[in-house]
Amino acid sequence: MHPAAARPCIGKHAALGSQSVSLVIRAHGTRHHLHRQAHIQVCRASGQAYLFSSRAIQGPIATKIRSMSSTTNFPDQLLARNADWASAVATKEPELLKSSAAGQAPKVLWIGCADSRVPESVVCDAKPGEVFVTRNIANQFNPQDDNAVSVLTYGVQALGVEHVVVVGHTSCGGVNAAIAAASSAADGKKTESPLSRYLTPLVQLAGRVQTECSSLSGPELANQVLEASVKQQVENVVQTDVIQSNWKGEVSPLSNKVMSKVAVHGWIYDVASGKLKHVITKNPV
C-alpha cells in the first residue's frame, strides 16, 4: 500500500494545558510494512493542527486531521484569529497599537446595519481608530433613540468627526421585514413585538413607497425602499440639535471648542459586488 493511501489510526493523548491536545497519528501499510508515527498538536482555539515530526502526513490522515479541527468552537477560532492579528500588527505596524492606546480621533461616524455582511472596517479597508461606529437593524436613526443620539453627540461634540455616513445595503432583512409588515397592515393584520415596534418608522416609509411605486415588487421594491430609507435617516441626522448646533458654529459642551462642521452622507453597499454607492450628501449651511 502506498503511504498516501494508508489507513489512519487516531488516538487522543493527555491534554497539554488548557489550549491544546496531543494526538498520535499512525499510518500502517500492509505491503511494505510501513509504520509512521507523528505527534500532532491541535490548538483548541484555532483549530489548526501542528505537526511535530520529520515526516509529512498526507492523504486520508491529513483529511482526518482537518475534519477534527473543523469541529472547533467558532468563538474560540475568533480568539485565535485575533491573537494572530495582534501578533502581525505588533510586528508590521507597532505604532498602530501604541497610537490606539493613546486615544482616538476618527474623522467619520458610520451609522450602519448590524448585518454580518457589512463590517465597515473590512469593506472600507479601514484601520482601528479611523471610523467611529454604531450599527443596528436596517441602519435606522430615530431621533427618539437615546443610544443613536448619544453616539452622534459624542462623535460630533467630543471626537470631532467631520463626516457622518448612513450606510444601507442590498438584501437587507430589516427592509424586507418592513415591506412585509406594511403589506400585512394594509390587509388589517398587525403584529406586536420589540422588533416590529423598532421598525415602525421604516414600515410606515415602506407603505408610502409601495403606494407611490405600486408597479414595483420584489428586489426592485426593496431597493426603492432602501434608498428612501437612507435618505430619510440622513434627514433625521441633519435635523438633530447636535448637527444644527454644529452647523451654527456653536461651542461644543463636551469639548468647550467650536468643532469642525459636519457633512452628512447616505451610501448603499451592494453585497453582491462589495461596492459602496453614494446616494446623498447634506453639507453645512
Binding residue positions? 113, 115, 169, 172
Whose grid coordinates read 421594491? 221
Report how far Cα 200 is from the mean position of its chain's Cα atoms.
Answer: 24
| Alpha-carbon span 10 to 40, nearest angstrom | 10
Pairing of strands 131-136, 108-113: parallel
Residues in binding site for Zn(2+): 113, 115, 169, 172
From CA 121, how far away is CA 112, in angstroms rounded? 12
Q: What are phi and psi of 99, to 5 degrees?
A: -70, -35
Residues in the chain: 285
| Cα–Cα distance, 35 to 8 (Å, whole number) | 11
At 136, which helix (H) or strand (E)? Answer: strand 131-136
217/209 Cα distance (integer angstroms): 11
Q: How far apart are CA 231 and CA 265, in angstroms?
A: 9
The candidate with the shortest Cα–Cα distance to 183, out of 145, 216, 152, is: 216
